[in-house]
């Protein structure tokens, strides 16, 4: 199948990847209500079609945190993406660089900061607040020395959400023997993935944190270490501690509430990402797109606001811009594409998003992505979108 949409990349990834890794990408927490809302609420928003307007000139470029992007899209941090394709973070970073957009490396990526920077441009770096502050300081110093331009500080994961699919697939919750048998069976039944990952993709560790997890060889060992080291005591004052080592832009990721957004301004952040962690943390909360307008109205020009969650097309990108986001971060979209076939498929996915965004802009009369506003929407009261989408 030749992929024509993000849903096609999802299907290709489902066919190619072992079940444990596909379910890890695809799943959410608990009953996955928020996961569904992220997509459904975007679908419920109607664009306002306009015709007979000269659309010869079209400008999709934006600037965020001092960085010029060819289109208002970046690749969000996705954990363990080096298990979807050999050295997957490097492949995705190369695709992003070629497309003129940023790539954000997850703390729990298979490839290290050093490897990604050597293989492509210095990535944005995503950081969790960990109990081991000495190691955190080391991570921040490494990112700074390597030239990472933006720190994305994820704040909605003081404890991992309950993800039922990971238990059912055997990824978590079983014995070491059960995990080994599951992985062996997955390897036998997915030969192309096995060849790729075990001939070109080793080592299968979490490269950025490898020095802190001595004697571990399996990805699950590193994830267990990360889980034990999430810090529930984190508060807005901890941004002062981060600032002692990091002097670049700090973007707070995981904000859904307008009051939290105002607190981010007071704490000295330069930006935030309206996000519910892709529906992977607290289930039953609102979608990112329905939270976006209130947060944009709350912070005004004090912060640069990005959004992730449920974005599956260029039309979704324009809807987010219309509601005040300066750019969106793609998560599952690029993970599906990477799992479907590596860098080439990520490049193809980004080209599709770019083409869809161009069509949406032309048919709404939007000549510049920077100028997109609520006039592009067809009279929808956005805060009530979530209610109507489920009625």
Domains recognised in the chain with CATH numbers? 6-389 (3.20.20.70)
Q: What is the pLDDT of residues 216-268, one digit of tens each?
A: 566 666 667 777 778 888 899 999 999 999 999 999 999 999 999 999 999 99
- Note the pLDDT of residue 189: 87
Distances (CA, A) of 197 to 67, 244, 341: 33, 39, 12
**pLDDT at 382 exceeding the cut of 80:** no
- Note the pLDDT of residue 353: 98
DSSP label at residue 377: B
Distances (CA, A) of 221 to 84, 134, 143, 175: 18, 21, 24, 13
152 strand-pairing partners: 126, 251
- Note the pLDDT of residue 362: 98
Instruction: Considering only residues 26 and 233, tell me which one the structure prediction assigns the higher pLDDT.
Output: 26
Instruction: Considering only residues 246 and 206, tell me which one the structure prediction assigns the higher pLDDT.
Output: 246
- Model pTM score: 0.93
- Note the pLDDT of residue 381: 57
Q: What percent of the chain has pLDDT over 90?
A: 78
Q: Name the packing angle between helices 332-341 and 6-16 (round to 10°).
A: 50
Average pLDDT, the chain: 92
- Note the pLDDT of residue 176: 66
**pLDDT at 379 exceeding the cut of 50:** yes
Q: What percent of the chain has pLDDT over 70?
A: 93
DSSP label at residue 286: P
**pLDDT at 389 exceeding the cut of 50:** no
204 noted as active-site residue: no
* pLDDT tier at 301, thresholds 50, 70, 90: very high
Q: What is the pLDDT of residues 35-72, one digit of tens each?
A: 999 999 999 999 999 999 999 999 999 999 999 999 99
Active-site position among 277, 280, 332, 354: 277
Q: What is the pLDDT of residues 131-181, one digit of tens each?
A: 888 889 999 999 999 999 999 999 998 888 889 998 888 887 766 667 677
């Amino acid at each position: 199948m030749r992929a024509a949409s993000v849903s096609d990349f999802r299907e290709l990834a489902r066919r190619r990847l072992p079940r444990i890794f596909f379910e890890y990408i695809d799943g959410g927490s608990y009953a996955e209500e928020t996961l569904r809302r992220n997509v459904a609420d975007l679908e419920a928003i109607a664009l306002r079609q306009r015709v007979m307007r000269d659309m010869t000139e079209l400008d999709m470029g934006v600037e965020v945190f001092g960085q010029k992007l060819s289109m208002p899209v970046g690749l969000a941090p996705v954990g363990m993406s080096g298990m979807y394709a050999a050295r997957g973070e490097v492949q995705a970073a190369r695709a992003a660089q070629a497309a003129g957009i940023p790539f954000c490396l997850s703390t729990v990526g298979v490839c290290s900061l050093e490897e990604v920077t050597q293989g492509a441009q210095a990535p944005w770096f995503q950081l969790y607040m960990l109990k081991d502050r000495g190691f955190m300081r080391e991570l921040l110093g490494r990112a700074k020395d390597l030239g990472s331009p933006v720190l994305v500080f994820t704040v909605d994961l003081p404890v991992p959400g309950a993800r039922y699919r990971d238990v059912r697939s055997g990824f978590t919750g079983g014995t070491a023997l059960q995990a080994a048998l599951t992985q062996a069976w997955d390897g036998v039944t997915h030969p192309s993935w096995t060849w790729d990952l075990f001939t070109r993709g080793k080592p299968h560790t979490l490269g950025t944190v490898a020095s802190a997890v001595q004697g571990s060889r399996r990805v699950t060992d590193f994830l267990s270490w990360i889980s034990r080291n999430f810090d529930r005591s984190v508060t807005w004052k901890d941004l002062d501690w981060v600032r002692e080592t990091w002097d670049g832009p700090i973007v707070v990721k995981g904000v859904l509430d307008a009051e939290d957004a105002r607190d981010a301004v007071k704490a000295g952040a330069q930006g935030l990402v309206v996000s519910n962690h892709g529906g992977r943390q607290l289930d039953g909360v609102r979608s990112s797109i329905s939270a976006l307008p209130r947060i944009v109205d709350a912070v005004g020009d004090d912060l640069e606001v990005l959004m992730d969650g449920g974005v599956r097309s260029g039309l979704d990108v324009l809807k987010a811009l219309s509601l005040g986001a300066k750019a969106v971060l793609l998560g599952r979209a690029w993970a599906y594409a990477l799992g479907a076939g590596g860098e080439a498929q990520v490049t193809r996915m980004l080209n599709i998003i770019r083409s869809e965004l161009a069509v949406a802009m032309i048919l709404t009369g939007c000549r510049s992505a920077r100028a997109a506003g609520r006039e592009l929407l067809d009279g929808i009261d956005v805060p009530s979108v979530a209610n109507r989408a489920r009625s």
